[in-house]
Structure 1
Amino acid sequence: MVPPVEGGDAALLPEFPRGPLDAYRARASFSWKELALFTEGEDMLRFKKTIFSALEKDPLFARSPGADLSLEKYRELNFLRCKRIFEYDFLSVEDMFKSPLKVPALIQCLGMYDSSLAVKYLLHSLVFGSAVYSSGSERHLTYIPKIFSMEIFGCFALTELSHGSNTKAIRTTAQYDPATKEFIIHSPDFEAAKFWVGNMGKTATHAVVFAKLHVPGDQCHGLHPFIVQIRDPKTLLPMPGVMVGDMGKKLGQNGLDNGFAMFHKVRVPRQSLLNRMGDVTPEGTYVSPFKDVRQRFGVSLGGLSSGRVSILSLAVVNLKLAMAIALRFSATRRQFGPTEEEEIAVLEYPMQQCRLLPYLAAAYALDHFSKSLFLDLVEFQRGLASGDRSARQAELGREIHALASASKPLASWTAQQGIQECREACGGHGYLAMNRLGVLRDDNDPNCTYEGDNNVLLQQTSNYLLGLLAPRVQDGACFRSPLKSVDFLDAYPSILDQKFEVSSVADCLDSAVALAAYKWLVCYLLRETYQKLNQEKRSGSSDFEARNNCQVSHGRPLALAFLELTVVQRFHEHVHQPCVPPSLRAVLGRLSALYALWSLSRHAALLYRGEASDCGLTDRSS
């Protein structure tokens, strides 16, 4: 069980030990404790304190400086640590629904300790567990206590060797046999092997396997998830018909065992189908509560978002760690000065501030966004669990899918660029292994790839936006979405007619200014992408070719700008609430403005091109 937090409020946020950072802390215009309470909340701070206190006292989590563990030893230790986390019972099944923010909080705490541990834990409890809970029905609830007791250990098997992001081309099949009332899970060849599956290499006993569902009469009803036992929980030997193996050493996250599996006519009970979206009767008839295929697809998309939303939290924690290391080093490292006898901290140099402080603002903005998007995901999963089959629920799934598909690229790329900047900003000392920057960079790197390659995922978001614009152009439909992320597009024509003029830097220090510019930019990019798409089609390109030809210069920046706008919007609203303590309003307002302006500045060429084209200074057909 979780050990109690010792002491009173002083133990929650103790004073920092005396040291070289005292001078900077004394100059602060706000209370760091007040900021921590506002951004985290007292309950969450206590929860994190409980976790860290337990890890600090547990010998299993003690580090051996300079000890390079073998791959097998590292994975064994990581599994034991994961098991211990469940034994501490930091997060119960009830907590996941009563206090959902404890989930990303726990993931971030574990990520601060070791990214491999955080990923191993979340793949089992959140990705595998969430798939069973949200995609299954009452008959699958018996798996939930087994997941949290680690009686079984799970993984999420979607990607195949030859098909990753293109889920429609996945070739693993699930053929229903009415004579035995079983599904036959089969991999037609090695290219259809499930690949890169986290936890599958050594430790998973069960997998949520996505396969194309076939019923008698050779009718295929598309991709559906099945619970398949792949190993004996006692011996960890493969089950009959299952060939399972380990991917080997990777560039990072080597405490996580990524693996592959092939299925040779593996029979599983009919009840193994996670049947929230569709089911098969004992006689072999396919039934679904969703008559509208598009509605069913929207709900299934939202169900696949938990992994991407979790990666958002992991990327944020990597950026937080790197920023803490680089900023503290920059405040203590002295170099050059006004006289030969007087050197100043490198943090005083505008160049160092320009390199680091925007990433600090990004850490705050993305952290808030990750929490809010996780709550949106929980709302969606609650709807699934309650049997909500409304059009709103399906649209919520599509919107979360679009936001998650772009937020993973934005967060993982921002973290990767920020960690590298931190490494360089620390000079030669930044290259030492002991400072963790190299490990953070390597462990963050897969965030850019798994759960969908970043550039491919951005197409999901741009396609979502283009899909909203088409009905508007054709019949004047309104822009409305459950989370209101696209509602501003209702003013699409008038936003494009706006011009922005600021007379001083001070005018820009309100994130509302950058927010208005972002709305114009998204509207402009949406219009240009839509026009380019139609131009390609008129020239004879197929739909596939047209979308492909639009992606580099149009769809990709559209998706990124839309997600950045959403992050800026949510953080702006968060830091301008009436409940913000007066002493924090200035610093939070500056953080919001800094992130918004820094992000917007990377679109300067597009802003200029858009203004020029609207003034008739460029060839609009180009």
Structure 2
Amino acid sequence: MMAPSPEGSDDVLWSDLPKGPLSVYRERASFSCRELLLFWEGEDVLRFKKMIFSALENDPLFARSPSANLSLEKYRELTFLRCKRVFEYDFFNMENLLQSPMSVLSVIQCLGMFDWSLAAKCVLNVLVFGTAIYSSGSQRHFKYIEKIYTMEIFGCFALTEVSHGSNTKAIRTTAHYDPATEEFIIHSPDFEAAKFWVGNMGKTATHAVVFAQLHMPGGQCHGLHAFLVQIRDPKTLLPMPGVMVGDIGKKLGQNGLDNGFAMFHKVRIPRQNLLNRTGDVTPEGTYVTPFKDVRQRFGASLGTLSWGRIAIIGMSVVNLKLAVSIALRFSATRCQFGPTEEEEIPVLEYQLQQWRLLPYLAAAYALDHLSKSLFIDLSRLQQDLRRGDGGTAQAELGREIHALASAGKPLASWTAQQGIQECREACGGHGYLAMNRLGDLRNDNDPNCTYEGDNNVLLQQTSNYLLGLLEHRLQDGARFKSPLKTVDFLEAYPTILGQKFTGSSMADWLDSSGPLVAYQWLVCYLLQESHQKLNQEKRSGSSDFEARNNSQVYYCRSLALAFMELIVAQRFHEFTHGPGVPPSLRAVLERLSALYALWSLNQHVAVLYRGGYFSGEQAGKTMEDAILHLCAQLKDDAVALVDVIAPPDSVLNSPIGRADGELYKNLWNAMLQESRVLERASWWPEFAVNKPVDGSLKAKL
């Protein structure tokens, strides 16, 4: 089955927005919503997303149920059936995915806006499992990719274990090579080494990319490598011999996705099932690798691990987009109080509501741009590796992307977490109704803070990267330089540290270039402070491990977050101030850029004062004034900005967030459609029957 392929007029690209209460704000917008939509997405992506949304809206299998009371088994069955239908529609067309990274991101975003269980199930099979084979394997493995697209096999990515997750080097599953049979023996030494939390493994996966420690006959261990292991028979879904596989149970959210566990008891797989792009084993048992040292090989392999983290950045952005779309449409139509007793005004007119919500709208745009740009960066790295260009430059690029993904995931998922909660509260009691979806968004986003590495632990990868560059500079005189140029500004770090804020008015903050200068100082200061803290710990007798452990809070953790916030703000600034921006869109995009950078920087005011970049009350006060001024400027554009990022109503699935703005009518109708809403309780006799009060209870009363 193929999805409809609309062609022709501009009517294909967008639908007319309905007339209603939101029209007042749409008419106030300073820009054309259609022009921004076309500029932001691009015609090809816009057409592709429109096709996906149209298919979901018109297919009965994707019809929304008025009640979410499906059993766990039924929800998972429905999710799998929808997943099959997605493959029938050919959304994950392999040729498109290879030619256009944005096609991949578009499918993830569209399916995620509908249901993250469905999106995660598809993404884990195609993007995570399939890409691991494609980027880490070689020609001999590509036959499995074809089987993914025909659904002959269904895949998962098995890295995390019961006792180890973020510490990948301590993974305990083993793969011993037997030259007599030319096989690897995959083994779990005990239940703590069981693969755990693996999406798709619970009920549906037939194959897994399993990470295990590679041991050679002579006893040498070459570290973590990826192996393709069949875990179930595709015809029966029964476990393969030696494999114990099952489901870990109900979660806080995303319960349409079956997360599972697996243990391996001396499971033999062919030598060819080693994904061998970074290292291989000859039939006789000799380990060979194109990389000169382990550090280079590990750097090149980091790209595979980065796919999941960059995908989670995109998932978090989608959740934030949905939440701010619901909350801002609600705020533009929800009237409370006013200048007189007879007049009520939309709560969006209140400064407090603007301050609560509009920075998250700016964050949704800024982080969306980060998500797209990182996706492109990683795709280029994978293309280089597939061409066999696996030298030092690619290893350095792999490490840089790893550092960005390791901080980008925490920043995006935490921003979404905080933003969804703020949106829920900003919608008052109506935001607490499950039908308005903010609770589901909160639950479905929550694992993003943990999957693919706990956020706080991941941040250490980024701070280690930065501190390592500083150490090389101090010891060897090496320059601060990286393939994506994210650290190049540090070359001037002694000069930057000598800078002070010299502005005196709010105007000094109204362009994002002002906050960027302050951010560069902040990162340099935190890098110096973290380095000094580490050295102080070591001088006091702490081991390297203890020194790093004692330098995280207020130092390395803050360094990694500030660095990533700078990267997001810098990339968004360059994009919104670039020559390709239409003049009619420049003002609104530059305001979004300034608001995101300033709002993020405002969280570090104490450090800016402590380090001496700020002095006097005016610096902090003018920053706050600028944030409020930008919020006021963006207030009339808020609904139109939401129209650019919000999906169709059938996908958004929130009565208070519908595009027509008929807040109360939509809420009332949705409530009446709920199951048994007007019926008497099934347990009514328990209320009506008079029972004698127990004597002991009567005495207490």
TM-score range, shorter chain: over 0.9
Please, which runs of 5 or more residues in structure 1 have no aligned partner? 616-622
Counterpart contact for 2:291–2:391, Cα < 8 Å: no
Give, as a single letter, the amino acid of the residue that structure 2 aligns with 1:441. R
Q: Which moved more, 1:554-563 or 1:603-612?
A: 603-612
Distance across 2 between alignment mates of 1:228 and 1:519: 46
- State the partner residue of 1:147: 148
Gap regions ≥5 residues in structure 2: 617-701
Name the amino acid aligned to 2:294.
V
Within a 5 Å distance, the mapping from 1:183-198 to structure 2 comes to 183-198=184-199
Within-5 A mapping of 1:158-173 = 158-173=159-174
Displacement after TM superposition at 1:504 (Å): 1.7
C-alpha distance in 2 between matches for 1:506 and 1:212: 57
Q: CA deviation at 1:67?
A: 4.0
Counterpart mapping for 1:91-490 below 5 A: 91-490=92-491
Post-superposition offset of 1:79 = 0.8
| Structure (1 or 2) with the larger CA radius of gyration | 2
Within 5 Å, give how 1:39-50 maps onto structure 2: 39-50=40-51
RMSD: 1.2
CA distance in 2 between counterparts of 1:197 and 1:166 reads 16
TM-score by length of 2: 0.87
The answer to whether the Cα contact below 8 Å between 1:232 and 1:239 also exists between their aligned partners in 2 is yes
The code of the aligned residue for 1:350 comes to: Q
Report % sequence identity. Answer: 77
Helix, strand or coil at the partner of 1:479: coil
Distance in structure 2 (CA, Å) of the matches to 1:505 and 1:448 = 35
The one-character-per-residue Cα deviations of 1:482-516 (angstroms, maximum 9, x if unpaired) are 11110111111111111122222122111000011
- Give the stretch that moved more between structures: 437-446 or 573-582: 573-582
- Deviation of residue 389 (structure 1)? 2.0
Q: Is the 8 A contact 2:327 2:424 kept in 1?
A: yes
SS at the partner of 2:551? helix
For the 8 Å contact 1:479–1:490, the answer to whether it is kept is yes
1:508 aligns with 2:529: no
Letter of the 1:454 partner, please give it: N
* Alpha-carbon shift at residue 613 of structure 1 (Å): 11
1:14-60 per-position Cα deviation (integer Å, ceiling 9, x unaligned): 22111110101011111111111111111111000000001111111
For 1:398 and 1:487, how far apart are their aligned partners in 2? 15
Query: Do the aligned partners of 1:303 and 1:397 also contact (CA within 8 Å) in 2?
Result: no
Which stretches of structure 1, 4 residues or longer, exceed 4 Å deviation after superposition?
612-615
Q: How far is the alpha carbon of 1:11 from its aligned partner?
A: 3.3
Q: Name the amino acid aligned to 1:93.
A: M
Identify the residue that residue 581 of structure 2 maps to in structure 1: 580
Contact 2:231 2:240 in 1 (8 A): yes
Q: Which has the higher contact order (CA 8 A, sep 6+)?
A: 2
Residue deviations 1:443-477 (CA, integer Å, cap 9, x gap): 00000001000000000000000000001112321
C-alpha distance in 1 between matches for 2:476 and 2:159: 38
SS, match of residue 612 in structure 2: helix
Q: Deviations over 1:527-574 (max 9, x none)?
A: 110111111111111110000100111000000000000000100000
Question: TM-score, normalized by length of structure 1?
Answer: 0.98
Aligned equivalents of 1:421, 1:272: Cα separation in 2: 48
Measure the CA separation in 2 of the matches of 1:495 and 1:165. 34
Shift of 1:612: 7.3
CA-CA distance at 1:66 after TM superposition: 1.5
Segment of structure 1 superposing worse, 377-386 or 11-20: 11-20
Q: Secondary structure of 1:231's match?
A: coil
Measure, in 1, the Cα distance between the counterparts of 2:602 and 2:542: 34
State whether residues 49 and 110 of structure 2, in contact with CA within 8 Å, keep that contact through their aligned partners in structure 1: yes
* Preserved CA contact (<8 Å) 1:5 1:53: no
For 2:554, the equivalent position in structure 1 comes to 553
1:614 is displaced (CA, Å) by 11
Corresponding residue SS for 2:40: helix
Aligned-pair CA distance for 1:64: 1.3
Task: Please state how far the C-alpha of 1:292 moved relative to its aligned partner.
Answer: 1.6
For 1:435 and 1:501, locate their aligned partners in 2 and report how far apart those are by CA, in whole Å.
47
How far residue 6 of structure 1 moved from its aligned partner, in angstroms, is 6.3
How far is the alpha carbon of 1:297 from its aligned partner? 1.2
Change over 3 Å in CA distance of 1:33–1:484 after alignment to 2: same
**2:172–2:188 Cα contact (<8 Å) kept:** yes
CA distance in structure 1 between the aligned counterparts of 2:84 and 2:142, rounded to whole angstroms: 21
The change in CA–CA distance for 1:65 and 1:598 in structure 2 (over 3 A counts) is same
CA distance change for structure 1 residues 216 and 614 in 2, over 3 Å: closer, same or farther? Answer: farther
CA distance in 1, matches of 2:525, 2:377: 28
